Structure 1
């Protein structure tokens, strides 16, 4: 086992969740070898053709990555690990929300705007359908994150890099569906939500209040000044939990860990769905790694 590859404990947790060969056609190359090749490519940020030969043909690694992105295997693996930890009482829904921008490489441009599954699924987030936005630095993609109390990602959401964070708040929160292993309604409402001043809007605060979620979001200076200027008509200041707000560093640290993967820090994939699959795999590795550390005596 080389650095960055699946450990024996991590492999034991996901082996039974992987697709099984049905006996028809050519046998599949070993899942663990191929996954290690995919992980190598995500860490190094190189073209698929540069994957070392010890992981098998690069075409096999790419086709397995693409197939499991299309059939939802990567997302299902992450969901199953989250559900398992939640069933053990390890997931605390004091969540933090934030976003980060990834510069898009020139190879990420040029995908078709219409006629693709990825384009239809993400078209509501951006006009091009591939979550690319143009700013001063060129084409960028924005990754919106919702992390739980240990700093592990619960929700991943892509938009163009020029999209304002607060406009995507409802879409991010709507994706929080922590399925229960024995059936029943999934967990969709966090106990507390921690966000920076970019999420300090009247609409967001009203939505959180209506759903019984405690908002831990500081006011902007202009909002404070405007409230004071209006006097008694400005209303009371919003309650602020300074101690809980300190936990917002968890989402920043999660972003830092995800961007240690070079194919995530810079977007090379033309399709937003492929880039999101890479982020999902990196998130899965964070969950598996945290499980190993918690098991260490």
Structure 2
């Protein structure tokens, strides 16, 4: 129970996003991040059988499933992840996902947020969003 309680406390306190930013800064200072291209993808997560309909609706916004959207650098290091309802179209989540990438310190100059090229499957492809990226 202590582990679950600490996990909940740390999540509520925002420890995980801050830890991710620190790790990305360390990787950038070691020149271990590759911004030449990034990969974007998403996956569905079904609601658990033991969850009540009300719990499912509160956690996902749909009552049935969730979807993770992830962006990685060219070597597969996660830059950002978002969670949406399972009924969301991937293409509508591309810009919010890119905006979730934290500014990465660790080197001289402006903090880096965007890769040079973004690669994704057809679910994220649309002329409007291609021009925005």
Please tell me the TM-score bracket, short chain as reference.
0.7 to 0.9
3-state SS in 2 of match to 1:145: strand
1:102–1:181: structure 2 CA closer, same or farther, 3 Å change rule? same
What's the CA shift for 1:183?
7.7
Task: State the TM-score, normalizing by the size of structure 2.
Answer: 0.87
The answer to which structure has the higher strand fraction is 2
Displacement, 1:185? 3.5
User: C-alpha distance in 1, partners of 2:62/2:110?
Assistant: 36
Out of 131, 134, 147, the position equivalent to 2:60 is: 131
In 2: Cα distance, 1:167 partner to 1:111 partner: 25
- Structure showing greater relative contact order (alpha-carbon pairs closer than 8 Å, 6 or more residues apart): 2
- State the match for 2:41 in structure 1: 98
Partner of 1:133: helix, strand, or coil?
coil
Deviations 1:22-70 (A, max 9, x none): xxxxxxxxxxxxxxxxxxxxxxxxxxxxxxxxxxxxx211111011001
2:55 match:
111
Question: How far does residue 188 in structure 1 lie from its aligned partner after superposition?
Answer: 1.6
Gaps of 5+ in 1: 1-58, 113-127, 209-297
Does 2:122 match 1:206?
Answer: no
- Give matches, 1:13-52, under 5 Å: none
Distance 2:12 2:69 in 1: 21
Alignment of 1:153 onto 2:78 = yes
Q: Secondary structure at the match of 1:97?
A: strand
Q: Give the TM-score normalised by the residue count of structure 1.
A: 0.41
What displacement does 1:79 show?
1.8
1:201-246, Cα deviation, whole Å (9 max, x unpaired): 11112112xxxxxxxxxxxxxxxxxxxxxxxxxxxxxxxxxxxxxx
Structure 1 residues 192 and 71 mapped into 2: Cα distance closer, same or farther (>3 Å)? Answer: same
Counterpart of 1:106 in 2: which secondary structure?
A: coil
Q: Provide the C-alpha distance between the structure 2 equivalents of 1:65 and 1:144, rounded to a whole number of angstroms.
A: 22
Show the counterpart of 1:45: none
Count how many residue pairs are aligned between Structure 1 and Structure 2: 131
Contact conserved, 2:68 with 2:81, CA < 8 A, in 1? yes
Structure with greater helix percent: 1
Instruction: Say whether the 8 Å CA contact 2:67–2:86 is kept in structure 1.
Output: yes
